[in-house]
Structure formats: structure tokens, C-alpha cells
Amino acid sequence: MDLNYTNEIRARVLERMDLSREMSDEEIEELIGEETCRCMRAEKFSVRERVRIEQKVFNSLRKLDALQELIDDSQVTEIMVNGPKRIFYEKDGQVCEWGESFESEEKMQDVIQQIVGRHNRVVNQSTPIVDTRLMDGSRVNIVLSPIAIDGAAITIRKFPEKPFRMEELIRRGAISMEAAELLETLVHARYSILVSGGTSSGKTTFLNALSQYIPEDERVITIEDSAELQIQGVRNLVRLETRNSNMEGVAAITIRDLIRSALRMRPDRIVVGECRGAEAFDMLQALNTGHDGGLSTAHGNSSRDILGRLEMMVLMGMDLPLSAIRQQIASGIDVIVHLGRLPDKSRRVLEIVELDGICDGEIMLSPLYQLKECEGDWKLCSVGSLKHIGKLKMAGKQYCVDDRVHMQDDVRLPVSAIPGR
């Protein structure tokens, strides 16, 4: 019954819309209200039901139709569309099926084109896969049929309106206060930090939280496939985004291109949203040519595994001896923060390690913090805390605390030994 009214009201509003000009949302809402009164005059509907129908019509005309209510819900973290009739969402760590659906495949295609068109992206039969974002910064991946066999697939990764600060992650138990204080010191000291973890482990959220420690007077350049980072407290900020090629002959702009351009823009720090290919070589080159203090994320199952992935990514773009690649990694990256998602769906820092040079051809890792469980493997248990198990080797690095600069050469210091702490 609601669907019939919704379709009828929508059709009448479309007939009355002035297509010769851009109508405002207020004008559309007024038309919807008038047609709703006309269609439902003989029926007894509560005010709540009428408002809901009017909102559904408005969402179908000006917003993202069946997805809009989920997008507006701040508790929903992921939206998964498997064709026009099956929509799922994640809320509080649980995946549920949504009661609404698209009216048709054509309506779903209209929504897809609305999403990609806002950011000059193209998705069609010749280019059936695209990464883009919503106006609020939410990450969107779209795969069209016939690549997606059961109809177009849309996956939306939502981010909070206000990015989590480190204090919020501490409150949620994602990281300990002591470990957060260490990371604050390392960011001020211009350590290059790589945040690793599996899919949906919270890498982007954690990188956003780390950015609050970047001094306000620094010039920061962010480089992303699809802009989603929310750097906090930095005024001198340049945000760069890749561009795909299209049928009109517009050339593609890759992350490698953006990194090379960023080096000529007088950056104090370069933040790469994610390394997933040959751009890893350019990132390491930047970190090894005086552009320290860089931040980035990458997918990996552990701190040790991510080193192997970095080696493979560099080899995708440059044929170099493995020993030379490892030397670049050991010199360019100082600390790895590894995140994971536990069985209770919580996202936690599992490990913080320092890269401690090369020995016998292997990159040495010095663990600083590890998630220690009560019993057994962290994959099987949700109870545990981040324990301080190692000391930081400051190895000629400067670190700043309370506007003072200290130097420590070849000395391992516990966090409690850092002056000013």
C-alpha cells in the first residue's frame, strides 16, 4: 500500500516539476506535500505515516532513494547492496538485511550515476568498476553487471561525521593511554609510521586520529585514490586525489604521479591514504630523501607480513634486488602499528613495532606493545590489553616534548624515561 502511494505521488510530482530550471529542495518538498494531501485525502493515515511517505518520495527524487535512511543513520557503519532487491547493513558489528529495496534496476542505476557523477567518476559497461565517495566522505565501491552476476553491487563504508580523536579510541579500548602517548611523541618526532591491518580493521579511522598530533604549523599533503581522510587541526593542508582515464581521452592521474608532484610542493609531511601497488616505491623514495614523518596505511595480516607485501608492491613497479628493497623499507619506515578486528567485532591495536635495521638480510622488528590475552590466541579471545613489552630505540632521532628538542643516540628508552612524561 505504501509503495503504491509512493509511486503515485512521485509520478505526479515529476509531472509538475519545472525541468527548465533547477528547483530547490524546498520547492520539491512543497510539491510533495500538496500531492500527498491530494492522493491521501480519502484515506486515514497518521501524521507519522504521512511524513514517512513524503520522506521516501523526496529521497527517491533528490537523494539516494532506498539507501538514504541508512546513510542518515549515524550508527550504521557499512551498507552492502547486492542487486536492486537485496540491501544489507552493518550496525553495532552485526550485519542485518534492510527492509527497503529499489523499485527497479533502472532506479538503482540512476542512484549509481548520481553517486559517481558528483565526483567526476565514470562507471559503465566499458568501465564497470569504480571507487568514489559520497558528499560526507563515505567510501563507495561499485561493480556493475555482468561483472556482478546478480545485479550491480554497491558497498559503502561510512565514516563518522566528526573523526574519532585518540581520546575516543582510548575510551573504546582500542589502544592504551600509554601507547597513545608514545605515538604522540613519535608523530612530533617526525617518525614515519605505517598503519597496517586487515579489511575493516579501522586503519583509516586510526590514521585520522593520529593526524591530531601533527603540529598545526606544518604543511601536509594527503594523497588518496578516493579522498576520505579527515586530517584534524592542520590549516596548511593540500588534498590530492587520483583520476581515472575516460573515453574522451582524459589521461589517468595515479598515486605515483601525485607523490612525485607532492615532492615539489614543499611538504613537511606526506600522508598516503593507502599503498596497494607500485606507488610503494615512490613513497619509500620520498621517505628516504628527507621527507620523514610520513603516514600511510596498507593491508596486511601482521607486522611481519606487511613487510613482505611492501617488497612485492615495490617489485610491481621496479625491478630491484630484494636486499636493496629491504634497505629502503628499513630506512624509510620507522614504526608499524598493526590493527585487527576481534571476534566480538571490536577493533583494537594488536601490535606496535619498531623497525630496527637489517641483520643477515632480514629486517629486524623490535616489538614495543602487543595485545596480550588472558589465554590463547587473540583470534579466539576478545579479552586482553595492550602490554608494554619493549623499549624504543631512538637511534639518532629527534623527538620533541613540550617544545623542547632532545637527542638520544643508540639508547633504548622506555616510555616512562622520555623527558617530560
CATH number, domain with residue 274 = 3.40.50.300
Prediction pTM value: 0.80
Q: In terms of domains, do 144 and 181 share one? A: no
Q: Kind and range of the H or E element at 250?
A: none
Tell me which residue range forms the domain holding 13.
1-62
Whether the CB-CB separation of 233 and 216 falls below 8 Å is answered with yes
In whole angstroms, give the CA distance from residue 71 to residue 56.
13
Q: In terms of domains, do 71 and 110 share one? A: yes
pLDDT in tens, 149-198: 989 999 999 988 788 899 999 999 999 999 999 999 999 999 999 999 99
pLDDT band at 18 (very low <50, low <70, confident <90, very high): confident
Q: In terms of domains, do 1 and 112 share one? A: no
Q: In terms of domains, do 354 and 212 share one? A: yes
Last residue of a domain, one of 158, 190, 210: 158
Cell of 7: 509511486
Last residue of a domain, one of 132, 158, 184: 158
**pLDDT reported for residue 207:** 94
Q: In terms of domains, do 303 and 344 share one? A: yes
Answer whether residue 394 shows pLDDT above 70.
no
Cell of 51: 511524513
Q: In terms of domains, do 110 and 248 share one? A: no
Average pLDDT, the chain: 84
Q: In terms of domains, do 332 and 396 share one? A: yes
Last residue of a domain, one of 22, 42, 62: 62
CATH of residue 132's domain is 3.30.450.370
Beta bridge partners of 358: 363
pLDDT in tens, 62-97: 889 999 999 999 899 999 999 999 999 999 888 999
**Total domain count, the chain:** 3
Which of 158, 165, 159 is closest to 233 using CA atoms? Answer: 165
Q: In terms of domains, do 53 and 70 share one? A: no
Q: In terms of domains, do 32 and 78 share one? A: no
Other beta carbons within 10 angstroms of residue 315's beta carbon come to 15
Q: In terms of domains, do 262 and 275 share one? A: yes
Q: In terms of domains, do 268 and 411 share one? A: yes
Q: In degrees rounded to 5, what are phi and psi of residue 172? A: -80, -5
Pairing of β 139-143 and β 347-359:
unpaired
Q: In terms of domains, do 115 and 203 share one? A: no
Range from 165-169, 224-228, 331-335 carrying the lowest mean pLDDT: 224-228
pLDDT in tens, 50-62: 888 888 888 888 8
